[in-house]
Homo-oligomer: A and B are copies of this chain.
Amino acid sequence: MPERTELRLTPQRTRVLEVLKAAEDHPTAAEVYERVRLAAPGIGSATVYRALALLVETGHALELNLGDGAAARYDANTSRHDHAVCERCGRAADIDHPVPDGMVAEIARRSGFTITGYDLQFRGLCPECQTAGEGNLPGRR
């Protein structure tokens, strides 16, 4: 895999990376763009999208696909981890419990695919929503 490692650190890219690192949540590209604009109003969306792609490519960020047809989310925590997504409030908890290598190998063997990775999200109710009962969900579609 022709991994790209080098990246010219322009002011724009620095800001994108800063926003990502400061983010407590897992912002979408559009959200990153919004936040970067606060600090650098003149920046173009194309630049932010390009920067994000570059950061992912160079291993400085992860792109998460949390299903649901939602837009990809970005995460400056580049270590491998999965998520448990609350079906009620949308909160995502980090899960650090990889699928066993043996299972991946077995699936590769059966399917004929060369497996380079996987995305795994658990669905359920977070502890808060379990106790909160059937009341007030926030404005999730």
Contact = CB atoms under 8 A, between A and B. Distances in A.
A71 interface: yes
Contacts of A119: 67, 119-121, 123
Number of copies: 2
B113 A84 contact: yes
Contacts of A106: 97
Interface residues of A, number: 40
A120 to B, nearest CB: 5
The 8 closest A-B pairs by CB, nearest first: A65-B67, A112-B127, A115-B124, A113-B124, A114-B125, A118-B122, A84-B113, A116-B124
A104 interface: yes
Interface string A66-84: 0111111000000000001
